[in-house]
Structure 1
């Protein structure tokens, strides 16, 4: 438990203190945000606000995880390192996208194909490695079984290990792409994505800490309702570090934002969320934990699909937070109410998780 607290505290301090230093560097280089012209007119005043703040979120997370391990005298494990690889890798794709926007002085960054290829490379590497690194209990970081709160009987390797690997890579990359784009869509108002992510990863910190305390250790050590997860303590340390990083960053990102996380932050956080869902074997529970992200994506899908069919719009603008802005809600009101929605989803998910454990006792 001490390592988890140290990780959160370290990343919070680094993010809180490091963000204003990053702001100065970005301002000196004129690395400012470009605003889409079809968005709410109130957002035009944000043009030029420093972006790529996700760099400090990633850095704080990595340092928080590393320092917590050093202080507690424990070594890093495969699951934690894989999760950080996914987060840093997608953060790099986002950084290149943000840099392209700044360089070309427009709101469009990397080409869609460049993004797809970059995300696919990181995602495939993560998925393949996640099925390696067996520990003494013969557990790998990920499983080919589909999961809700724990692994189900639906095994992607039913037709053989080779086919199972291919299907798992496809499934894992679908989750990585979906969640990274979902967080990216959510990152449209000052503090919205940072606050929602703090809540979502806070829920995962609770879940992974519980999994660590109720982990199955060998055959004789197994207890009713124990979790067959490799390295849950590592995942808890990383989750806590992300919470601390988002917490510190939010001080500077809240309205009026002095810095944006950019695609650097949103893709990194989305990738980390997807990675946690895979490594904790809670792939479908993540749909509830990240319910706000899902609502943002659905609003965009509904808007585009309905417009193509009828040439009419369901929402005044998608994603959903812009709809309420155009209805006259103040930006801060939208953000706080969406945080409340995110918190409700997180509480429901944690309740379901704990209720399932109680049912097995």
Structure 2
């Protein structure tokens, strides 16, 4: 909106991408900071609280009086910032918004069923997976065959260089795995107060920086990234995600006053996945999102090992629950995971220019 008004009034300050990045972050931050306290009070009056797993850590039973579905307001604040500061003629923006809204709707239905029927099951896993897949494939199909974008089938390898891959239609499947996989990985990680949202903030800031670099051909020549002239608007969108996450973390940090629910974790994970594809940074997402990878692998290993040996590798999966049951405090686990996530962000950003040094 402001971007379009600026086009009419020709105000130079609004042409500055740096201005729009900063104000996008601040706007989404203050929207959540202002609106979420009212949401918490309203949900408490309705007595619509998070449904806690009976087989989970005993300490989590105290969270039964904490409202959920806070991710709905993460989405709202992101969209408001995007509509205010992004160029809405940029097709990259609409691909991300489509995933955020589609996955947010699935998560919202999942959270609603959990609250309505007072159980932690929600949507059946098969149906959730089906609708996540349908939305991802539809968006990727449109991207892949959009002649305006012409997505090149290339991957950027951290610490090395870009490689050409003759994937053809398999690229659709690879992109599908990135979007659905990241969405579910964030969902699995969202098990402790503030645990999932901080890595999302770090990765969003990293992608915002990469998107900013990607639209500058001179910087691309010195870094291990592709020149993408439309990517600068993604830097504004990523800033909106980071700002919204910070505003939500204000109330989600231990002890949490509200949870994001599946509506938040699925949509945010899907957004990170689609952004990594647009920037050709799918492998960098694996590196910077190492916490999400670690949590997902722990679940996969637990399931496979139990089916084969009828024993558990971890006391409970995802692995953050394993550490809880071993006696580590929730806050300690969360902060240590944040530290690891921040280090992975720094390593990921550093890897962009390392091939030009060695």
Alignment of 1:81-230 (within 5 A): 81-135=94-148, 139-140=149-150, 142-148=151-157, 152-157=163-168, 164=169, 167-214=170-217, 223=221, 227-230=226-229
1:122-155 per-position Cα deviation (integer Å, ceiling 9, x unaligned): 10121012124444xxx43x43334435752112
Distance in 2 between the 1:25 and 1:113 partners?
A: 32
1:3-52 per-position Cα deviation (integer Å, ceiling 9, x unaligned): 11111111111111111122223223322111111111000000131111
SS in 2 for 1:109: coil
Aligned residues: 338
1:303 paired residue number:
302
Which range is displaced more, 205-214 or 109-118?
Answer: 205-214
- On the 8 A contact 1:98/1:263 being kept in 2, the answer is yes
| Distance 1:186-1:215 versus aligned 2 partners, 3 A rule | farther
Distance in 1 between the 2:145 and 2:65 partners?
A: 45
| Distance 1:60-1:176 versus aligned 2 partners, 3 A rule | same
- On the 8 A contact 2:216/2:229 being kept in 1, the answer is no
2:27 paired residue number:
10
Distance in 1 between the 2:283 and 2:227 partners?
A: 17
**Is 1:329 matched with 2:338?**
no
2:45 paired residue number:
28
SS in 2 for 1:152: strand
1:286-308 per-position Cα deviation (integer Å, ceiling 9, x unaligned): 11010010010111111121222
Distance in 2 between the 1:151 and 1:51 partners?
A: 42
SS in 2 for 1:191: coil
Query: TM-score, normalising length from structure 1?
Result: 0.88
Which range is displaced more, 207-216 or 187-196?
Answer: 207-216
- On the 8 A contact 1:80/1:231 being kept in 2, the answer is no
1:73-115 per-position Cα deviation (integer Å, ceiling 9, x unaligned): x444000111111112111111110011111110000112221
**Is 1:314 matched with 2:313?**
yes
SS in 2 for 1:47: helix
Alignment RMSD = 1.9
Q: CA deviation at 1:329?
A: 0.9
| Distance 1:63-1:151 versus aligned 2 partners, 3 A rule | farther
SS in 1 for 2:352: helix
- On the 8 A contact 1:197/1:243 being kept in 2, the answer is yes
Which range is displaced more, 79-88 or 24-33?
Answer: 24-33
For structure 1, the residue ranges without an aligned partner over 5 or more in a row are 158-163, 217-221
1:171-212 per-position Cα deviation (integer Å, ceiling 9, x unaligned): 221111111110001000001111121112121122212222
Which range is displaced more, 84-93 or 146-155?
Answer: 146-155
2:337 paired residue number:
338
| Distance 1:329-1:156 versus aligned 2 partners, 3 A rule | same
1:273 paired residue number:
272
- On the 8 A contact 1:10/1:67 being kept in 2, the answer is no
For structure 2, the residue ranges without an aligned partner over 5 or more in a row are 1-17
